[in-house]
Structure 1
Amino acid sequence: MSRRRILSLWFPRLGAERIARAERALAGPLAVVGEQGNMQVVTSANAAAQAAGVRVGQPVRDAHAVCAALVTRARNAPAEAAFLTALGRWAGRFSPWVAEEPPDALVVDLTGCAHLFGGEEALCRVIEEDCAGMGLTVRLGIADTLGAAWALARFAGQGAGPDRSGDDIDQEARATRSRAGRRRHWTRGGTAPQMPPAPVGTARIAPPGQSHGALSPLPVAALRLDEATVAQLLRLGLRRVGDLLGQPRAALARRFGRGLVHRLDQALGSTPEPISPARPAERFAVRLTLPEPIGLKDDILAGIDRMLPRLCARLRDRGQGARAIRLEAHRTDRAAEVVTVGLARPSWDADRIRPLLEMKLDAIDAGFGIDLLRLEAARTEPVHDRHAVGHLEASRAVAERFSGGSALDDLIGRLGARVGMEAITRLHPASSHIPEKTATVLAAAWSEPARDWPMPAAPRPLILWRPEPVTAPAVPDPPTRFRWRGQKHEVAHTAGPERIAPEWWLDDPDWRSGVRDYWVVVTARQERLWLFYAHGNAMSAGWFCHGQFA
């Protein structure tokens, strides 16, 4: 059975070189700037900028101090993602199995395909020539596993650098290291072992079955570990992947977690890591290229009026309804303003989508002008087919539409555009006899209205709160007067009791007082309160107020 061969393509300067392709006049140092927290940092830099000392993750102010001739551009994340998708289509010429690794890498399953290009070395040369023609920098690696190919693409030819933490014997004085090497045979037996210098990996292609040897000289960061784990390994003197291969797996898992062992097994092929490129999802998007830049809200709205009917027609033809609509306004300075609106129900009705987009237009900063508008249904759901009905069914459907069907959905969509869809909730019945647990809160946009609410045996108050102590005689009979919230109340009428027992299988702090007897108490000021007497199985007995009727 033939071995799998995986190709990893990494484009370390994707963002900067994408802009350089679009702006041919830019020939000097170029950096792409993005927001990170409350600070602007460099997210990508071309070769000239990196040669001048600019690095990814560096604050923009420091980058300008290092390179006075540096030209910066704002990051356009949607354009970078689209460019990576286009590169995925280009990589399809080498194999039909291509998957994206956002934000700047591709993975190709080359099994049974490399011989069509004269072998893996010839294939690498073809890829490099194509990328050079496109003005892109590429680093690649080929191995039996995805983890090994990923490591070779990013770390081939790099040795494990020193980490002066003071915890490794290699960092001690030369005489100390010499004595330590001679002392090893005292405990192991035999002569002192000779420690050859660790080789530095230079090959970007690991021959079939040789992933172990190709990974050994690479730094531990090549295993796709988080920064904290890498720093901890370096402090212990475990700098290379080969330093981990001879360690007991159980000890590594206890010290660093199962993630380290899992990544190591993936790189060596012990744990499968399949490449499953999904079929390209059907995209519903339209765009409008403007002959002159625009900046007014009315102009943007006019562009939406031209694009939205076309988008809704495509959705209707495919039987899909939009649940989220994204509007992208691409400015003349290569930046993009993006706003997203959500709908309570999937729809292809332009009259329901347009008001939601109009509410979001104030958040768009036109800058020096907008020269391209793009409208996309970011999330879609199937819409049920319609069928012809008689007059009685039609009248019932119209009544439902205007009594709370689509009208309620439109209201939820409008409110959600302002405060967020998750902030709008509705209650659904729950399976519990405890008063405060008889309903559960669900997001209104992703749930249907509750149709059948179970009717309790006794009335329930409209407002419930956590039980509040009531000053009254500690006897089960309802009091004639009591003190609550600092006020004295005279009892005019009582109704009850209704006995409610706690859920014995759950430990609820509010119900540790045991069985309760609930009473509807009407005060002299015509306040209808819901009082209960706690019999005090686990806590002291007494009266409490739990709610108020409307």
Structure 2
Amino acid sequence: MFDGMQRRIVSMWFPRLPTDRALRLCPIDAPFALSLRHGNTDRIHDLNRQAETQGLHRGMTISEARVYCSGLRTRQADPVGDRRFLTGLRRWALRYCPWVGIEDTDGLTLDISGAAHLFGGEEALLADMRARLDRAGIEVRLGLADGRGAAWALSHYGEGIAAPAASETALSSLPVAALQIEPDTIIALQRFGLNSIGALAAAARAPLGRRFGPGLLTRLDQALGRQSESITPLTEPPHYAVRLTLPEPIGLTADVMAGLERLLQALCAKLKAHEAGARVLCLTLRRVDQHSQTVPLRLAAAMRDPARILPLFVRGIEDVDSGFGIDQLRLAATVVEPLPLQQIGQDIATPEQLDNLITRIGTRIGLDNIRRFQPLDSHIPERSFQLVPVTDSQPRKGCSTQRQRPLRLFPPEPVTARGSTPPERFRWRRMSLSTGRAIGPERIAPEWWVEDDGWRSGIRDYWRVETHQGRRLWMFYTPQRPAWFVQGEFP
């Protein structure tokens, strides 16, 4: 990439990244640790310096840590949030060079070849990095060398700058663990007296290759600059937003819809190229007086068809106050979901009409107010389904069962009857009914691990009862407290 230029790599290591992030949100001047659950035990995931001075370390159980340090303050760790924070630091590091990659879960690698002079030299560049991170409350260790392996070794075990073409000299006194090799290999090398990188580099290569394999020699050559090691920067996520600046202000709904149509075509083409669909869209209309109005649109399902999306904006655009005119339109997909291409044929049912209907209703009453029934895997009738928002779920088939269930289900209603078998005559809802045919019983036991006052009476014996009056009822009998109830009705 840089012809005739010495390659220079910076390794940026954040030894307490999770703790630094947590303390930035809520500072605490006391021994502090983040806990993470392993199996059935909460263990220390990360900790600050004050906790380390009390004899605590990573991997220690929280209960054991409180014995050593009674004033320990703890919170739950958030690895997902830490990863997002590290990604944000990567974007910040782009101010120093265009090539920045993430190293494991707590570091960054920067290729600053040809960029150090912009900051006054390598030492000034590292000083600027350290000063900015110190002000942000983030502890960092920096290493600079010709290769990625040497820079990583310096940041983790030496912290400093290796002069160009002098990596071997700078790393000679560092332990062999700085080569990022397996712990078993480190122990084996120490048994042979090879404790430092300098001693390992001076040893015969052939016996090392036979004893430890080519991986050890590859790591050694990469650290000493004898073998190059690539840096793969993260690609920026696609930006799903388009803008249209108008030469003359507009104010009519038809003109805004015409401009929006052009924006939708460009945005949906970008979504299709990435096999994605928009769930939430935001149209920003900038007026000539520099005030802006937004028209949000939430969709019931991921979409990227301009013809289907365009009419859904009409209601919101009609309510916009254009003032003295609108001179810029900006359309952004703020929530995007994967929407892979599908083969369209006669045997494939498309739910587009239902999604359009749900979206149209949602623009009036809110998508969160539209819900659907979803089946649950439970033999208890009341717990065999749940109500969920239609936007956060997909239709599912019911749980497999060989028992017929009523179409209408309601809370148990008592009937006047006696005996453990379906009565010949009984009263329900002020109606006198007589049994024509009864099928059952089906005994259902309560789920003892769930607290439910409605099932504290114990088991139930369910019957399908067909009456001479034409009602087909789902009735049950409770042996513990003899009584009959109706809970459902078949069509």
The bucket for the TM-score relative to the shorter chain is 0.5 to 0.7
- Alpha-carbon distance between aligned partners in 1 of 2:354 and 2:411, rounded to the nearest angstrom: 31
The residue that corresponds to 1:410 in the other structure is 356
What is the CA-CA distance between 1:445 and the residue it aligns to? 3.8
- Alpha-carbon distance between aligned partners in 1 of 2:116 and 2:309, rounded to the nearest angstrom: 49
Q: Does 1:509 align with 2:453?
A: yes
What is the CA-CA distance between 1:493 and the residue it aligns to? 2.6
The residue that corresponds to 2:486 in the other structure is 545
What is the CA-CA distance between 1:382 and the residue it aligns to? 3.3
What is the CA-CA distance between 1:484 and the residue it aligns to? 4.0
Classify 1:528/1:284 alpha carbon distance in 2 versus 1 (closer, same or farther; 3 Å).
same
- Alpha-carbon distance between aligned partners in 1 of 2:426 and 2:486, rounded to the nearest angstrom: 11
The residue that corresponds to 1:221 in the other structure is none
1:489 to 414, 424, 432: 432
What is the CA-CA distance between 1:532 and the residue it aligns to? 1.3
- Alpha-carbon distance between aligned partners in 2 of 1:320 and 1:3, rounded to the nearest angstrom: 34
Specify the code of the residue in structure 1 equivalent to 2:472.
R
- Alpha-carbon distance between aligned partners in 2 of 1:533 and 1:121, rounded to the nearest angstrom: 84
What is the CA-CA distance between 1:511 and the residue it aligns to? 0.9
- Alpha-carbon distance between aligned partners in 1 of 2:427 and 2:266, rounded to the nearest angstrom: 67
TM-score after normalising by structure 1: 0.47
The answer (yes or no) to whether the contact 2:376–2:399 under 8 Å persists in 1 is: no
- Alpha-carbon distance between aligned partners in 2 of 1:317 and 1:2, rounded to the nearest angstrom: 35
- Alpha-carbon distance between aligned partners in 2 of 1:296 and 1:498, rounded to the nearest angstrom: 66
The answer (yes or no) to whether the contact 1:489–1:523 under 8 Å persists in 2 is: no
Q: Where do residues 71-470 of structure 1 align in structure 2 (5 Å cutoff)?
A: 92-94=94-96, 117-118=119-120, 142=132, 144=134, 146-147=136-137, 280-386=236-342, 394-397=345-348, 400-401=349-350, 405-451=351-397, 453-457=399-403, 459-470=404-415
What is the CA-CA distance between 1:141 and the residue it aligns to? 6.5
What is the CA-CA distance between 1:396 and the residue it aligns to? 2.1
Classify 1:395/1:123 alpha carbon distance in 2 versus 1 (closer, same or farther; 3 Å).
closer
Unaligned regions of 5+ residues in structure 2, if any? 1-9, 16-89, 101-107, 140-158, 160-232
Question: What secondary structure, in the 3-state scheme, does the structure 1 residue paired with 2:447 have?
Answer: coil
Specify the code of the residue in structure 2 equivalent to 1:490.
L
- Alpha-carbon distance between aligned partners in 1 of 2:240 and 2:298, rounded to the nearest angstrom: 15
Residue deviations 1:466-503 (CA, integer Å, cap 9, x gap): 22333333x31223444445x24322434233222212
- Alpha-carbon distance between aligned partners in 2 of 1:452 and 1:462, rounded to the nearest angstrom: 13
The answer (yes or no) to whether the contact 1:319–1:385 under 8 Å persists in 2 is: yes
Specify the code of the residue in structure 1 equivalent to 2:259.
G
Question: What secondary structure, in the 3-state scheme, does the structure 1 residue paired with 2:434 have?
Answer: strand
The answer (yes or no) to whether the contact 2:14–2:138 under 8 Å persists in 1 is: no
- Alpha-carbon distance between aligned partners in 2 of 1:354 and 1:412, rounded to the nearest angstrom: 15
Question: What secondary structure, in the 3-state scheme, does the structure 1 residue paired with 2:137 have?
Answer: helix
Specify the code of the residue in structure 2 equivalent to 1:407.
Q
The Cα RMSD (Å) is 4.4
- Alpha-carbon distance between aligned partners in 1 of 2:457 and 2:416, rounded to the nearest angstrom: 16
Question: What secondary structure, in the 3-state scheme, does the structure 2 residue paired with 1:301 have?
Answer: helix
- Alpha-carbon distance between aligned partners in 2 of 1:298 and 1:2, rounded to the nearest angstrom: 55
- Alpha-carbon distance between aligned partners in 1 of 2:93 and 2:12, rounded to the nearest angstrom: 21
- Alpha-carbon distance between aligned partners in 1 of 2:111 and 2:387, rounded to the nearest angstrom: 51
- Alpha-carbon distance between aligned partners in 2 of 1:500 and 1:520, rounded to the nearest angstrom: 14
The residue that corresponds to 1:528 in the other structure is 472
Q: Does 1:476 align with 2:428?
A: no
Question: What secondary structure, in the 3-state scheme, does the structure 1 residue paired with 2:347 have?
Answer: helix
- Alpha-carbon distance between aligned partners in 2 of 1:446 and 1:3, rounded to the nearest angstrom: 40
The answer (yes or no) to whether the contact 1:491–1:521 under 8 Å persists in 2 is: no
Residue deviations 1:303-330 (CA, integer Å, cap 9, x gap): 2122222222222233332222221112
Question: What secondary structure, in the 3-state scheme, does the structure 1 residue paired with 2:345 have?
Answer: helix
What is the CA-CA distance between 1:463 and the residue it aligns to? 1.9
- Alpha-carbon distance between aligned partners in 2 of 1:148 and 1:455, rounded to the nearest angstrom: 57
Question: What secondary structure, in the 3-state scheme, does the structure 1 residue paired with 2:400 have?
Answer: coil
Residue deviations 1:7-37 (CA, integer Å, cap 9, x gap): xxxxxxxxxxxxxxxxxxxxxxxxxxxxxxx
The answer (yes or no) to whether the contact 1:470–1:544 under 8 Å persists in 2 is: yes
- Alpha-carbon distance between aligned partners in 2 of 1:146 and 1:115, rounded to the nearest angstrom: 25
The residue that corresponds to 2:463 in the other structure is 519
Residue deviations 1:41-78 (CA, integer Å, cap 9, x gap): xxxxxxxxxxxxxxxxxxxxxxxxxxxxxxxxxxxxxx
The answer (yes or no) to whether the contact 1:339–1:363 under 8 Å persists in 2 is: no
What is the CA-CA distance between 1:514 and the residue it aligns to? 0.9
Residue deviations 1:408-446 (CA, integer Å, cap 9, x gap): 232233233333334333334322211122234444344
Classify 1:319/1:5 alpha carbon distance in 2 versus 1 (closer, same or farther; 3 Å).
closer
What is the CA-CA distance between 1:367 and the residue it aligns to? 3.7
Alignment length (residue pairs): 312
What is the CA-CA distance between 1:120 and the residue it aligns to? 11
Residue deviations 1:70-124 (CA, integer Å, cap 9, x gap): xxxxxxxxxxxxxxxxxx99984446699xxxxxxxxx99999988534899889
TM-score after normalising by structure 2: 0.52
The residue that corresponds to 2:442 in the other structure is 498
Question: What secondary structure, in the 3-state scheme, does the structure 2 residue paired with 1:396 have?
Answer: coil
- Alpha-carbon distance between aligned partners in 2 of 1:504 and 1:363, rounded to the nearest angstrom: 55
What is the CA-CA distance between 1:373 and the residue it aligns to? 0.9
Classify 1:429/1:386 alpha carbon distance in 2 versus 1 (closer, same or farther; 3 Å).
closer
- Alpha-carbon distance between aligned partners in 1 of 2:312 and 2:111, rounded to the nearest angstrom: 49
The residue that corresponds to 1:69 in the other structure is none
The answer (yes or no) to whether the contact 2:284–2:330 under 8 Å persists in 1 is: yes
Classify 1:2/1:369 alpha carbon distance in 2 versus 1 (closer, same or farther; 3 Å).
closer
Classify 1:111/1:503 alpha carbon distance in 2 versus 1 (closer, same or farther; 3 Å).
same
Question: What secondary structure, in the 3-state scheme, does the structure 2 residue paired with 1:359 have?
Answer: helix
- Alpha-carbon distance between aligned partners in 1 of 2:94 and 2:443, rounded to the nearest angstrom: 71
The residue that corresponds to 1:74 in the other structure is none
The answer (yes or no) to whether the contact 2:11–2:110 under 8 Å persists in 1 is: no
Unaligned regions of 5+ residues in structure 1, if any? 7-87, 99-107, 128-139, 150-207, 209-276, 388-392
The answer (yes or no) to whether the contact 1:5–1:143 under 8 Å persists in 2 is: no
Residue deviations 1:114-155 (CA, integer Å, cap 9, x gap): 88534899889x99xxxxxxxxxxxx9745473269xxxxxx
The answer (yes or no) to whether the contact 1:323–1:380 under 8 Å persists in 2 is: yes
Question: What secondary structure, in the 3-state scheme, does the structure 2 residue paired with 1:394 have?
Answer: coil
Specify the code of the residue in structure 2 equivalent to 1:394.
G
Classify 1:333/1:524 alpha carbon distance in 2 versus 1 (closer, same or farther; 3 Å).
farther
What is the CA-CA distance between 1:517 and the residue it aligns to? 1.5
